Amino acid sequence: MALEKTWRWFGANDSVTLSDLKQIGIEGIVTSLHHIPNGEIWTKEEIMKVKNEIESYGMRWSVVESLPVLEGIKTCSAGRGRLIDNYKESLRNLGECGIDTVCYNFMPVLDWARTDLHYKDKNGAESMLFDYCVFAAFDIYVLRRPMAAKDYPEDVREKAGALAANMSDEEKETLAHNIIVVTQGFINGTVSDVEDYKQLFLSYLEQYKYISPEQLRKNLSAFLSDIMPIAEEYGVNMCIHPDDPPFPLLGLPRIASTLEDFKWITGQYDSVMNGITFCTGSLSAREDNDMLKFIKELGSRIHFVHLRNTRRLGNKSFYESGHLEGSIDMYEVVKALLEEQKRRIQEGRKDIRMPFRPDHGLRILDDFSRKANPGYPLVGRMKGLAEICGLEMGIEKSKQVP
- Alpha carbons 398 and 395: distance in angstroms, whole number: 5
- Out of 279, 303, 323, 367, the active site residue is 279
CA distances from 269 to 86, 107, 381, 398 (A): 21, 19, 35, 39
- Alpha carbons 176 and 189: distance in angstroms, whole number: 14
The reported pLDDT for the residue numbered 78 is: 85
How confident is the prediction for the chain on average, in pLDDT? 95
pLDDT 10s digits, 313-338: 999 999 999 999 999 999 999 999 99
Catalytic-residue membership of 118: no
User: Taking the model in full, what pTM does it have?
Assistant: 0.96
Catalytic-residue membership of 279: yes
Q: Is 254 in contact with 215 (CB distance < 8 Å)?
A: no
- Out of 87, 241, 269, 323, the active site residue is 241
Catalytic-residue membership of 360: yes
Is the model's pLDDT at 383 over the cut of 90? yes
- Out of 139, 306, 319, 351, the active site residue is 306
Quick check: helix, strand or coil at residue 175? helix
Catalytic-residue membership of 376: yes
pLDDT 10s digits, 33-90: 999 999 999 999 999 999 999 999 999 999 999 899 999 999 999 899 999 999 999 9
pLDDT 10s digits, 210-234: 999 999 999 999 999 999 999 999 9
